[in-house]
Amino acid sequence: MSPILNQHVLVLNRLWQAVNVCTARRALTLLFQGHAQVVLDRDDGSFQTFNFSEWHHLSQQEPHPESVRTISFRIRVPRVILLIVYDHLPKKEVKFTRHNIFERDQDTCQYCGKTFDRKDLNLDHVVPRDRGGPTTWENIVCSCIECNTHKANRSPGEAGMRLIRKPKRPKWRPFVQISFTLREHDSWKHFIDLAYWNVELGEDVR
């Protein structure tokens, strides 16, 4: 399989909202089946959409290095596609895992505010377990060994400590596992605020 067919393509719903990332192979299939159109940004800042036949024609008229060859023709790989009928936003939740707690808290002790290697961080129950404190997003935080030892089996107030932020269940962010590069995904910038995609789990979107 051509490596170019595994490249990432941004998927917009029919309201032009980013909802997914798929492979170029999947994008071309959706285009061929009539379920999607290609979105192309022009030099004047406008956007133009192309169905399969129009995109095929453009691919012949304006050869592009990011193209794949079929038996009978070459076709350019799209960077952004627009779904014709889909207007929903996906609803997912972040899994409650040790890794995602570290991601939410940015590898930072939630008591002293210092950043550590993960091997030097513990997960602390804000309300101790033996006092009924649940193991949930809202009661688990990263803490360094020193702060964890000092807090011991007490509440933060009893230990004379304060949380730097209240622990929350993080909002799900599409494509949070995808690594973006400005060069590779420059054509996505009109649809995605890169600061939004790079924000750590648990921070509110501003």
Domain total for the chain? 2
Do the domain assignments include residue 169? no
> CA-to-CA distance for 27 and 37, rounded, in angstroms?
9
Do the domain assignments include residue 203? no
Return the CATH number at 112. 1.10.30.50
Are 74 and 141 found together in one domain? Answer: no
Are 56 and 109 found together in one domain? Answer: no
Do the domain assignments include residue 143? yes
The segments of the chain whose pLDDT lies below 70 read 1-2, 87-93, 172-186, 192-206
- Residue 64, pLDDT score: 81
- Residue 82, pLDDT score: 93
- Residue 2, pLDDT score: 62
Calculate the alpha carbon distances from 177 to 13, 21, 120 in Å. 20, 11, 24
- Residue 173, pLDDT score: 55
Are 15 and 78 found together in one domain? Answer: yes
> CA-to-CA distance for 151 and 161, rounded, in angstroms?
8
Are 24 and 76 found together in one domain? Answer: yes
**Cβ burial 141-173 (10 Å sphere, 16+ → b, else e):** bbbbeebbeebeeeebeeeebeeeeebeebeeb
Tokens linked to 63: 């050869």
- Residue 89, pLDDT score: 62
**Range of the structural domain that residue 106 is part of:** 98-151
56-107 residue pLDDT tens: 999 988 878 888 887 778 899 999 999 998 766 666 667 788 888 998 999 9
- Residue 206, pLDDT score: 29
Are 76 and 105 found together in one domain? Answer: no
> CA-to-CA distance for 130 and 138, rounded, in angstroms?
16
Are 80 and 182 found together in one domain? Answer: yes
- Residue 184, pLDDT score: 52
Are 67 and 102 found together in one domain? Answer: no
Are 79 and 129 found together in one domain? Answer: no
Are 142 and 184 found together in one domain? Answer: no
